Amino acid sequence: MAKTFVLKNESDKKLKVDYKSELNDEQYKVVTSGEGPCLVLAGAGSGKTRTITYRVAYLIEKGIKEENILLVTFTNKAAGEMLKRVSALIGKQPDKLWGGTFHHIGNRILRKYAKLLGYQSNFTILDEGDSKDLLKLCIKEEGVDVKARRFPSAAILKDIISYTKNSEQALEKVIELRHPKWLELENQIQNIAERYKLKKKDNNAMDFDDLLVNWLKLLKDNPRIKDRLAAQFHYILVDEYQDTNYIQAAIIKELASVHHNVLVVGDDAQSIYSFRAADIGNILNFSDSFKGASIFKLEINYRSTPEILKVANEVIKYNVDQYPKILKAKLSNFVKPNVVPAHSAAQEAKFISEQILKLRDEGIKLNKIAVLFRAAYHSQELEFQLTKKDIPYDYRGGVRFFERAHIKDVVAFLKVMTNPKDEAAWHRILQLQVGVGIETAAKIFNRIKDLDCPIKCVEADLSDILSVRAKMGWQNIVNIYLKDIGIKKLKNLNDPASFIRSIAKSDYREYLQAQFPNYQERIEDLEQFAKFAENYEDLNAFLTEITLQEAFAVERATPDNSDEEKLVLSTIHQAKGLEWEVIFVINLVDNAFPNQRALAEDNGLEEERRLFYVAITRAKKQLFLSYPLVSNHSSMYLNTPSQFLQETPDELLEEIKLIEGFSSKSDYNDLNGDGVQYLPEV
């Protein structure tokens, strides 16, 4: 009689994580059953990050190799947080897992296959500023005299070109829809766009859009490479899928063509980036793109009170193009959201500032409170009041660290060291010098552009093309590279931190001193920049990282730790993905919110409603919705409360009626809790 021996099934292996007990039923189904194409509709505050994290951990525990998993996010912070959580769950760092933003992963793949697209592997990545600088050169070369006639700026041209790429629309159509004023210049704009494209190629450079466009081109034009990559990625997970554009969705479809295990997580109710060419159709039509897709819903909300969620559910139900969802609160009952009609924007601001002080006295820290608005200028009156009452605040949306002029200057110096063909970088550092304008910079670059290393560039004899003043400026650059950095002595480029410190101590320091009143702060920024660079041993990798970095905040230690005690002011777009204990949404009047210009666009009202939904669902415990009854511009004009307030049933909101001062405590007590609205005569 034959003996039998039962081989252990890999699926029978005991898992470290108790997924059943650590996840709710909705999340557990996604984590354990997410095979094939899957759409996960994750409502606000429903534990989306937790679900993705546990899904990745589950796959690894089930024996899927890390290198066969692709995790795509929209921010480096999100990718880092998810990988950190995965590491904590499985007890080791998932070093081989492919995780990061679309741009990071695109860069990684394109470095390997750059030659197939006509690039060298050391191509430079142009940030927004670099792109605009290169476009300015294109405008000049096209023969446009911007001083003699009105012409769209480099920023406008960049917007047109970028939107054209990401939306897959014709340039003429984009100009017509977004910049109709310049429609008569379509041919010139087209010529500049084509010149810009060729110049990037000649400079061995790509902008952000190119990282996506070229990635998709690589996949479509090279079936073998596409099949190789698609075969490698057994499982693909995409976060914030509602924010993807045409190109990003197409890339995912190509990569999922072999194994078909693509799990996308998103919320159509939070699709608010159409101005960046994000296409809500990607999530709404997912089942059409991926046949046989399973659809999961995460509707249990862990963030907000039931009272806040009732308002959110009521508002969003008016949208037609959506997956219906009902957010259900995990938290217990608290207080109704407040609606606050104010006489004017000034009175609205006064109420908010006083209410914030009241909340602080009740023990809520300022950094747990946020004021959100549809457009940046809506905060003007409030900022005045906050300053008057000495309430510190952090305004989200200022110039980011890597976008600051002195940081970009130093980055340009570094880029030339790795890619001496980078025209935008050369022009930036040349025009910092005495006697060197855009024309002289062009002369210098044309002389050195064919030299294959930075040493040869700075040692070139330019005496015949430079004026006396320009020679002084060029000598400053020579000194920085030969004396301060000592590029001739370098055997490799493995110390970006020391390069930054050398530039900060060079003649560039004198330039900063002569140009900026806050010279010392800028020098401190450069030192912080150098400290950040200490994490990298390779200059190319460092430049890639900082160019793709979404944000980097310089932390300055303060004796009173005041950074932790700042109120947050933010546009709603910038607040997406965040949460606070208390939220104020201001200026809720028609034409302001919903925005009049947005309403003119296709499905504009629905996106504005989604934006309002995002604002509401940032609040954990308290929500204040306010609006001025009288326009700032004319006391004779009465505002109409926002359509979104009118769509909200009265019984879900508690109105606060504002009274201008009290002569005594008894006056207040006489209100009996109802209040009497005070409106000055108009």
Give the catalytic positions in this structure. 48-49, 239-240, 270, 618
Query: First-to-last CA distance in the chain?
Result: 104
Using alpha carbons only, give the angle 376, 381, 386 rounded to the nearest 5 degrees: 100
21 Cβ contact list (under 8 Å, min separation 6): none
Integer Cα distance of 24 and 631 in angstroms: 48
Exposed / middle / buried, residue 92 (Cβ in 10 Å: 0-12, 13-18, 19+): exposed
Cis geometry, peptide bond prior to residue 594 (ω within 30 degrees of 0): yes
Helices (H), 142-207: 154-167, 171-178, 186-202
Query: Which residues, at least 6 apart from 585, have a Cβ–Cβ distance to it below 8 Å?
Result: 371, 372, 373, 572, 612, 615, 616, 623, 624, 625, 626
Name, in order, each residue with C-beta under 8 angstroms of 484's C-beta and a sequence gap of 6 or more: 502, 503, 505, 506
CA dist., res. 678 & res. 675, Å (int): 9
Q: Are 155 and 132 in contact (CB under 8 A)?
A: yes
Place of tokens 């980036």: 273
| Integer Cα distance of 204 and 425 in angstroms | 12
Q: State the Cα–Cα distance between residues 44 and 576, nearest whole angstrom.
A: 10
Three-state secondary structure call for residue 447: helix
Q: How far is CA 623 from the centre of its chain?
A: 25
C-alpha pair distances (Å), 615 with each of 18, 109, 471: 35, 37, 56
Confirm if 680 and 343 have CB atoms less than 8 A apart: yes
